[in-house]
Structure 1
Amino acid sequence: MIDAIDEQILTILQENARTPNAEIARHIGMTASAIFERIKKLEKQGIIKGYEVRLCPDRIGLPLLAFVLISLNEISKMHMTGKQIAEIPGVQEVHYIAGKGSILAKIRTAGTLDLERRLDQINQIKNVSVTETTIVLKTDLESMSLPISREKN
């Protein structure tokens, strides 16, 4: 479980994972070594899963974002199919969903021709029956940050 100090640490690290322990310590009113120990504890508990660099997709040649709703022939093979989809280049996320379709995949590509190739790869997977693709025109918010609060709704 996390306490109010952990919440503050996590909030700061979500804004900038490279924030030095000394700076976090000054902000919270603790020593840098105490912050270090708390961060290590949060990592061991699996609350902090890792640290990543966020790239600008447009600047690295991957401006097209699409979401692909995937229906399956056999629901019992959903996880195996999801793992196959996850191996396709450009697939960023694979979600198992309720409602229309069984899997929702997030894909980034260089353009429509590249997207068409990725869709062909998805459709070649034996268990895939139908795909429905939505292309994103503009994104105002794309974030991995989670709200940190001990309050329960």
Structure 2
Amino acid sequence: MVDALDARIVKLYTLEPRTSILEASRQLGVARATLVSRLDKLQATGAIRSWAPSLQPMNFGYPVLAFCFLTIEQDKGHGAVVDALVDIPEIIDVHTVSGESDMLVKVAARSNSDLQRVLDAISATKVVVRSSTMLALDTHFEARTLPLFEASAE
């Protein structure tokens, strides 16, 4: 469970990720030890997964974003597909899903023809039977978890 202080801490570090512990404790009006203890707890529980930078592929040469729905070899299992896809750097996210497809994959590419190369690499894994791809025309927001985290503290 998270509380209002946890939500304030996460909001501060989401909006200003380079804030020092001293400055954050000052802004939040809490002792440094309290802040460090809360941050440690949030990391230990997995609420905060990473302090890594948030990368934007379109800003370093990958402006094409696509979502691929994969049908997989059922006797191979999802683990074999994940093991095969992890070596393709253009694959950003992989999810097992319900419905007509087995997996949903988010892919970044340099161009439409580069996307075709990535799709060919996915097919070459021999664990994907069929794929269906949709291009993202615009992204309005993504990885939007702060409002959800704040709501969980209520």
Regarding TM over 0.5, the answer is yes
- Counterpart for residue 31 of structure 2: 31
Unaligned runs of 5+ in 2: none
Calculate percent identity across the aligned residue pairs: 28
- Counterpart for residue 150 of structure 1: 152
- Counterpart for residue 65 of structure 1: 65
Q: SS of the residue aligned with 2:120? A: helix
Say whether the 8 Å CA contact 1:75–1:102 is kept in structure 2.
Answer: no
**Highest RCO, 1 vs 2 (Cα 8 Å, sep ≥ 6):** 2
TM-score scaled to structure 1, two decimals? 0.87
RMSD, aligned α-carbons: 2.0
- Letter in structure 2 aligned against 1:150: S
TM-score scaled to structure 2, two decimals? 0.87
Offset at residue 77 of structure 1 (A): 1.0
* Structure 2: distance between partners of 1:72 and 1:81: 7
- Counterpart for residue 16 of structure 1: 16
User: Structure 1 residues 55 and 78, CA, compared in 2 at 3 Å: closer, same or farther?
Assistant: closer
How many residues are treated as equivalent by the alignment? 152
* Structure 2: distance between partners of 1:3 and 1:151: 4
User: Structure 1 residues 60 and 73, CA, compared in 2 at 3 Å: closer, same or farther?
Assistant: same
Unaligned runs of 5+ in 1: none
* Structure 2: distance between partners of 1:150 and 1:73: 38
